[in-house]
Amino acid sequence: MRWIIIKRLKKLVENAEAKICSVAVAVAVISPKCCRGIWYQPEEPRKLNALLQDRIEEKMDSISK
């Protein structure tokens, strides 16, 4: 009995493999957009503005020399 079920499931997967694959690709494309767009809020590192300002000043000093 069990082998009949396994055989039918294998046949079902073989017949629908293109559809299964296309759904998997669609879900893989959509899922990161949903998670990052709505739920993911990146935390800005502390003192980021000061660090960037220091880097800009260093670059400007090296250019002007």
What was the pLDDT predicted at 37?
59
List, in order, residues 6 or more apart from 51 with CB less than 8 Å away. Answer: 45
What is the per-residue pLDDT for 65? 65
Whole-prediction pTM: 0.39
Residue range(s) defining the domain that contains residue 44: 2-64
Q: What is the tens place of the pLDDT at every residue in 1-52?
A: 888 999 999 998 889 888 988 898 888 888 776 666 566 666 777 788 888 8
Domains: count for the chain: 1
Task: Name which of 27, 5, 25 is nearest 17 in CA terms.
Answer: 25
